[in-house]
């Protein structure tokens, strides 16, 4: 007889009964608030085309590197899970086999964030009632498949059911955003849901890297601006930012190795740009020009008002063999230490108190929460503390974050929840987790007589509503 899989209504609240009761009361005030998701990776076509999720493996396993990596570590080949997502050769038998492998490894997820989100989805979204195992893998597969096949579970309908008011996608600067146009043109849908693009120019800002020259050319074509000089390249970027803004974008997002940014003088910058176009940059010059371009993105943000989010600190594709075989984003990006205080000094001295700039600093290096990011956000008006993402977006990690930044910077300097996910059906679970952690943290403050309960409730609502609206100018 299989064990039951259940969702307890008090999950994640304090173990102490008195604190738990306070947490319940705080959470009751935020649990049903609409979801605002200002940064994530849901493909816009899912929504504009209202695509079916296909099958359980393709929905839950193949694209989710959080899950794949743990299975890989425990001996599973990524190919067995359907990776990479671009594959079209997975049969139903393959998908069922992948699902069975996952169910067999269920206990390998004990204690992880993935286990938490999966349980929330399995029980709360798909209606599964048994703990996954080799024995019931097919039965659970069938339940989820039936759910997927129900027309009422297409992405647009789920936007209602999941109560998602705002969601941002992540897009290439040269994208024409026609998916977004299509969504905006659907008056009924658009009246209740806003789907905004996000300008993510990473690849365009690393001169000297393979393929960069072609990207620069493409930027020129799409914008209709001559990019033979840095002045032109800059104008082309501004042009595309304006295009994104006109199509509803509220932010630009930047995955970077570190936070270094500094302007070159104009002449030197043009000289390096010319060398970059000629394929002659040294590594040091490439870094210098990259740091110049990052700095200039911040300057543009002060002008067009798009919020800027910075995500440093991940060494992408750590395992070269896996990258060669499966491509990027398959589970072998590994965090590393970052430095914030010195790296951001030029950037923040130039723009850190600019009235039109909102800059969100994310990190995978927990050390910098209390030491660097919270102190910076507690002084500079433009700086907001990014909530935990990726490896650190789990309950105890989130509590460490809250305990690290709140005492120094208060709640007003926090970005609000960012789910950063491409796993559409996990969005409610992720936002709910954060609301539960908000309640758990605030309940502790109340129980320790550091905050009154009415203040805690007001604060919880602000974290869910006011903070993201302010930081992303919604």
* Interactions with its own copies, residue window 391-420 (CB under 8 A): 391-392, 394-397, 400, 403, 406-413
Residue 435 interacting with its own copies (CB under 8 A):
no
Tell me if 458 contacts its own copies by CB under 8 A: yes
Q: Which of 415/459 has CB closer to its own copies?
A: 459
Nearer to its own copies, 182 or 470 (CB): 470
Nearer to its own copies, 178 or 336 (CB): 336
Number of CB atoms found within 10 A of residue 6's CB:
10
* Beta carbon of residue 160, minimum distance to its own copies (angstroms, whole number): 28
**Binding track over 266-305 against its own copies, x by CB under 8 A:** ----------------------------------------
DSSP-H helix ranges across 32-130: 44-48, 56, 65-73, 92-104, 113-124
Residues 111-130 that bind its own copies (CB under 8 A): 111-113, 115-116
- Between CA 29 and CA 37 the distance in angstroms is 19
| Strands of the 307-312 sheet, one edge to the other | 251-256, 307-312, 359-361, 383-385
- How far is C-alpha 110 from the chain's CA centre? 23
Please select the residue that binds its own copies; options are 2, 51, 74, 280, rule is CB under 8 A. Answer: 74
Binding segment for its own copies (CB under 8 A), chosen from 10-18, 47-55, 285-293, 304-312, is 10-18
Helices 427-447 and 17-28 cross at an angle (nearest 10°) of 130
Residues 6 or more apart in contact with residue 118 via CB below 8 angstroms? 60, 67, 109
Nearest residue to 122 via CA among 141, 96, 150, 104? 141
CA distances from 81 to 57, 84, 89, 99, 145 (A): 7, 9, 12, 8, 17
Shortest distance, CB of residue 469 to its own copies, whole angstroms? 16
Q: Is 254 helix (H, G, I), strand (E, B) or coil?
A: strand
- Site for its own copies, residues 307 to 326, rule: CB under 8 A: 315, 318-321
Identified binder of its own copies from the candidate list 171, 365, 419, 420, rule CB under 8 A: 365
| # binding residues, its own copies (CB under 8 A) | 92
* Contact region with its own copies (CB under 8 A), list: 27-35, 149-157, 420-428, 443-451: 443-451
The answer to whether 312 and 344 have CB atoms below 8 angstroms apart is no
Examine residue 70 and tell whether it contacts its own copies (CB under 8 A). Answer: yes
Q: What is the DSSP letter of 13?
A: S
Token reading at 416: 């609000």
Q: Which is nearer to its own copies, 50 or 323 (CB)?
A: 323
Nearest-angstrom CA–CA distance, 246 and 212: 26
Sign of the alpha-carbon torsion through 220, 170, 339, 472: positive
| Contact status: 448 vs its own copies (CB under 8 A) | yes
Tell the smallest beta-carbon distance from residue 204 to its own copies (Å).
Answer: 26
Residue holding tokens 């040294």?
282
- State the nearest-atom distance from the C-beta of 320 to its own copies, in Å: 5
**Nearest-approach distance from CB 210 to its own copies, in angstroms:** 19
Which one of residues 75, 127, 279, 327 is an interface residue with its own copies (CB under 8 A)?
75
Q: Which of 25, 325, 345, 473 binds its own copies (CB under 8 A)?
A: 345
Q: Which of 264, 306, 377, 427: binder of its own copies (CB under 8 A)? A: 377
Map the footprint of its own copies across residues 130-189, applying CB under 8 A. Answer: 131
């Amino acid at each position: 007889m299989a064990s039951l899989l259940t969702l307890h209504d008090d999950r994640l609240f304090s173990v102490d009964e008195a604190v738990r009761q306070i947490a319940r009361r705080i959470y009751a005030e935020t649990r049903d608030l609409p979801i605002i998701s200002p940064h994530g990776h849901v493909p816009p076509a899912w929504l504009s085309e209202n695509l079916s999720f296909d099958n359980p493996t393709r929905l839950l396993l193949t694209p989710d590197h959080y899950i794949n990596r743990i299975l890989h570590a425990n001996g599973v080949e990524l190919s067995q899970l359907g990776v990479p997502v671009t594959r079209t050769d997975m049969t139903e038998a393959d998908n069922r086999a992948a699902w069975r492998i996952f169910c067999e490894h269920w206990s390998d997820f004990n204690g992880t964030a993935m286990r938490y989100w999966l349980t929330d989805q399995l029980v709360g979204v798909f209606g599964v009632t048994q703990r996954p195992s080799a024995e019931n893998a097919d039965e659970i597969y069938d339940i989820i498949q039936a759910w997927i096949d129900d027309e009422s579970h297409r992405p647009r309908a789920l936007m209602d059911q999941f109560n998602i008011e705002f969601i941002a996608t992540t897009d290439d600067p040269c994208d024409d955003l026609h998916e977004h146009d299509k969504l905006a043109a659907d008056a009924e849908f658009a009246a209740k849901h806003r789907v905004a693009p996000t300008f993510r120019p990473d690849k365009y800002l690393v001169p000297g890297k393979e393929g960069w020259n072609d990207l620069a050319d493409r930027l020129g074509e799409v914008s209709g601006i001559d990019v033979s000089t840095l002045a032109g390249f800059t104008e082309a970027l501004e042009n595309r930012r304006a295009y994104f803004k006109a199509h509803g974008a509220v932010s630009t997002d930047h995955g970077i190795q570190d936070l270094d940014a500094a302007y070159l003088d104009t002449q030197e910058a043009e000289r390096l740009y010319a060398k970059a176009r000629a394929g002659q940059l040294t590594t040091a010059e490439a870094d210098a020009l990259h740091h110049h371009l990052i700095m200039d993105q911040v300057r543009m943000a002060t002008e067009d008002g798009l919020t800027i989010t910075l995500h440093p600190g991940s060494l992408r594709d750590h395992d070269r063999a896996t990258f060669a075989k499966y491509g990027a984003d398959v589970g072998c990006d590994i965090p590393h230490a970052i430095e914030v205080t010195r790296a951001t000094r030029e950037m923040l001295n130039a723009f850190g108190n600019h009235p039109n700039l909102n800059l969100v600093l994310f990190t995978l290096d927990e050390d910098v929460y209390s030491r660097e990011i919270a102190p910076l956000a507690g002084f500079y008006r433009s700086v907001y503390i990014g909530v935990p993402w990726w490896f650190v977006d789990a309950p105890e990690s989130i509590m460490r974050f809250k305990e690290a930044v709140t005492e120094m910077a208060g709640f007003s300097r926090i970005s609000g929840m960012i789910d950063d996910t491409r796993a559409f059906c996990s969005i409610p679970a992720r936002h709910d987790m954060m609301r539960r952690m908000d309640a758990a943290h605030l309940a502790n403050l109340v129980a320790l007589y550091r905050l009154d309960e009415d203040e805690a409730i007001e604060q919880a609502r602000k974290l869910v509503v006011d903070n993201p609206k302010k930081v992303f100018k919604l």
